[in-house]
A and B are shown apart, each in its own frame.
Chain A
Amino acid sequence: MAQKSTLFPDRRKKRLLIATFFVILIITMMITITAGVYPITVNDVYLTVFQHLGFGNPLGMTNDIVVWEIRIPRVILAALVGAALAISGAVFQGVFRNPLVEPYIMGVSSGAAVGAGIAIMFGFIVISLQCTAFLFGVFAAVLAYSFATIRRETPLVNLILAGIVVNAMFDAGLAILKTIAPYGKLQDLVFWLMGGFGGTKWGDVSSVGVQIFIGVVITSLLGWQLNLLAVGEEDARSLGLHVQRVKAILLGLAIYLTSISVATVGIIAWVGLIMPHISRMIVGPDHRILLPASALIGAIFLVLCDTLARTVMTAEIPISIITSAIGGPYLLYLIRKNRSFYFR
């Protein structure tokens, strides 16, 4: 992968930067919980939070419900899903050594969406909704990779074309689901596919959120193996790395993180593509730093996007509209700026 210019080349400084991103994420979350359609003063928002942490006296019940039951779990889940999608994108880009690959472009998100859609429509659930989405996500990734690989080589153009084909296949599957869905379910299916955190409960945070958190941490700890893969598979083998196993583990984790995110909040496009790029520009290509940086920047990005989604208009805007509005132009900019690399 091309070495991008790095603003912070020193590794110690990079670690400091990770800590800084974490602090920025916390500050972002603390600011965004004060935003919403229900008018609550900033002071009351924090008094409510402190009261739940064991300090101070209870405030009004409505304030408590809005801050503690509605906004906070939503902001936390948005952060976790943002982290999951961004780190998945970074893993895909690292494994395939290709900056244009990410779960959405490879068809994983569409595959997972079809799995979740089938589960919702027909009650066809393998173990759980997330697991069903995961199986379809794996299927999509295997399909794309198989289509793209010729004589043990997987050229960039092949991979992108294969991703387009797989996406088209699963999009057709989604279209069929939409066609046969009764009207009531169709409305839900369409809104769900557009992505959103509208119905988030603490239960979502404790179940899905914990899985995402663990997945993100484990993936971050495997960054050094991605570094070895980045020097080339032959060299990685000569350094003692079991290349196929490592790739399978990393891709499995990335697909799982993407799938449970999609199954929970629908398809949210572009996070997996642009967040790793931004992170790479800031911290460089070292995956030990890049993976946690991507997760944190992805979390910040999605928290901000979700805040826009729930506050810009009186009604909810599907969050994918916002991420696409930002992500699409950014990809165009990226391709135009690095044309010689992408189309060599």
Chain B
Amino acid sequence: MLLLIGGMCGTIVVADTKTITDMRGKNVTIPANPERVAIMNAGFLAQLTRALGVSDKIKATGGLLFDWEDNEDQNEYIYLNPDFMNLPNIYGWQDPLNAETLAFTNPDLVIWEDTEYTQGAKYKEQNNKDIDTIENTLKVPLVLVKGTGLYGNKDNQATYDTITLMGEIFNTQEKAAEINAEMQKRIAEVEERTKKITPDKQAKVLFLGLTDELPSPAWENNYGDAKFSDNILNVKNVYTDTNTRKISAEHIIKLNPEVIILTSYSKKGLNPDIFKEDDTFKELRNVDAIKNDRVYSVGDMTWIGDYGLDTPMILMTEAKGAYPDLFGDINVRDWSIDYLKKIYGMNDDEATTLYDDIIGMSWTKKKNF
């Protein structure tokens, strides 16, 4: 049998198969050209399959792709991959894997995204069992990739590595490298400006997952949309508890943030004017951030910290919200739409629809943000 040693790191190609090293450090033999792939993720892999142009190779999905929004038509991942709506759901992550459905789809590869969410005590054991079922019972090769910020890491290396690995899996290394370069360039653009902020000048920010009524969860410094608050954004998160919990109106008044970032958890968070328009929250109107019109939303860009390809847009939105003068020359809306066009190869209309209507960032147009 002809043995081909791939030029790429960690990849060995043998006839119709190749061996890659996944992010557990495990060597996995997979098809040289995977054609029937199941993905387990909250959106990052769905973004990547579109960006890499391999959506048609996905034959089943699981995890939390469709569970978040009531209106699935408004889901970013469905917009990017419309056919995913018709694929079998193999569940997994917070629900046990539906092994029979997975077997029925006859996959030649499963790509499993490990995230902070799946690594939590509540789901970790179940997820490990499901991985074992796929590998040892169904005998389907499984490649484990990692989401952003896993294991408390506050950098994007896992994201970049996953993009590279996905390029290797689908033989789209060149496009994967382009995506990585674009992301890194954009994030550096944020970081270069915010790193000049001294501790006494740090903006006091509350990352709030606004629900129908208060109390609502506040994101601590190592969670969700607040993950990069100290090392990239260089802001002071006013919620200093070590766990993300629901906090009351009185607590928010006490914290009195200068800036409120409505996180992706926010069911009412697509409209930064919500506090002024909805009497449910009228008791907060004396809070500095609300009084001074410094409430911003990251829309539906992220999913409990699984930043994915949205990372640069999230960071730029939060950074300009915290430091409007520092980013006065940047129109976040134009900057973000341009990024979407480059990452996904979209035209202007597609990217604008994605940004405004699907991700829910149309407020940036109204506020010329």
Residue numbers of A with Cβ under 8 A of B are 36-39, 61-62, 65-66, 69-71, 179, 182-185, 187-188, 191, 196, 198-199, 201, 310, 313-316
Contact = CB atoms under 8 A, between A and B. Distances in A.
A314 B265 CA distance: 21
A310 B67 CA distance: 31
Contacts of B212: 188
A198 B246 contact: yes
7 contacts: A37-B251, A66-B283, A198-B213, A198-B248, A199-B215, A310-B250, A314-B251
B68 interface: yes
B231 interface: no
A66 B251 contact: no
B247 A314 contact: yes
Interface residues of B, number: 31
| 9 residue pairs, one from A and one from B, having the closest CB atoms | A315-B245, A199-B213, A198-B215, A38-B254, A69-B283, A65-B283, A38-B250, A316-B215, A37-B251
A314 B253 CA distance: 13
A65 B70 contact: no
A314 B242 CA distance: 11
A23 to B, nearest CB: 27
A69 B243 CA distance: 27
Contacts of B213: 198-199
Nearest to B68: A183
Contacts of A188: 211-212
Contacts of B211: 184, 187-188
Interface string B268-309: 000000000000101100100000000000000000000000
Interface of B: 64, 67-70, 94-95, 211-215, 217-218, 241, 243, 245-251, 253-254, 265, 267, 280, 282-283, 286
A185 B267 CA distance: 9
A65 B281 CA distance: 11
A37 B249 contact: no
B245 A316 contact: yes
B364 to A, nearest CB: 23
Nearest to A36: B250
A251 to B, nearest CB: 32
A70 B280 CA distance: 12
B106 to A, nearest CB: 27
A188 B217 CA distance: 11
B271 to A, nearest CB: 16
B267 A70 contact: no
A187 B253 CA distance: 23
| Interface-central residue, B64, B211, B250, B251, by most chain A CB under 10 Å | B250
A185 B68 CA distance: 9
Nearest to A316: B215
A70 B249 contact: yes
Given A62-B286, A182-B68, A37 B250 contact: yes
Contacts of A313: 245
Contacts of B282: 69
A61 B246 CA distance: 24
Given A71-B250, A310-B248, 6 more contacts: A182-B70, A184-B211, A191-B246, A198-B248, A315-B218, A316-B247
A309 to B, nearest CB: 10
Given A69-B283, A199-B215, A37 B248 contact: yes
B302 to A, nearest CB: 13
Contact of A199 (B94, B214, B218): B214
B250 A184 contact: no
Nearest to B218: A315
Given A198-B214, A199-B213, A184 B248 contact: no
A340 B250 CA distance: 49
Contacts of B214: 198-199
A39 B286 contact: no
A36 B241 CA distance: 17
A184 B68 contact: yes
A179 B64 CA distance: 13
A188 B214 CA distance: 11
A76 to B, nearest CB: 16
B253 A66 contact: yes
Contact of B248 (A62, A70, A179, A185): A70
Contacts of A36: 250
B67 A183 contact: yes
A183 B123 CA distance: 15
A314 B243 CA distance: 11
A315 B95 CA distance: 28
Contacts of B280: 199, 201
B253 A183 contact: no
A38 B253 contact: yes
B246 A316 contact: yes
B286 A61 contact: yes
A311 to B, nearest CB: 10
A321 B233 CA distance: 37
Given A65-B283, A198-B215, A199-B215, A183 B64 contact: yes
Nearest to A62: B286
A61 B245 CA distance: 27
Contacts of B248: 37, 70, 198, 310, 316
Contacts of A65: 253, 283, 286
A139 B214 CA distance: 31
B247 A70 contact: no
Given A36-B250, A38-B250, A182-B70, A315 B241 contact: yes
B336 to A, nearest CB: 24
Contacts of A179: 95
B113 to A, nearest CB: 16
A62 B246 contact: no
A73 to B, nearest CB: 10
Nearest to B281: A199
A37 B250 CA distance: 7
Nearest to A314: B241
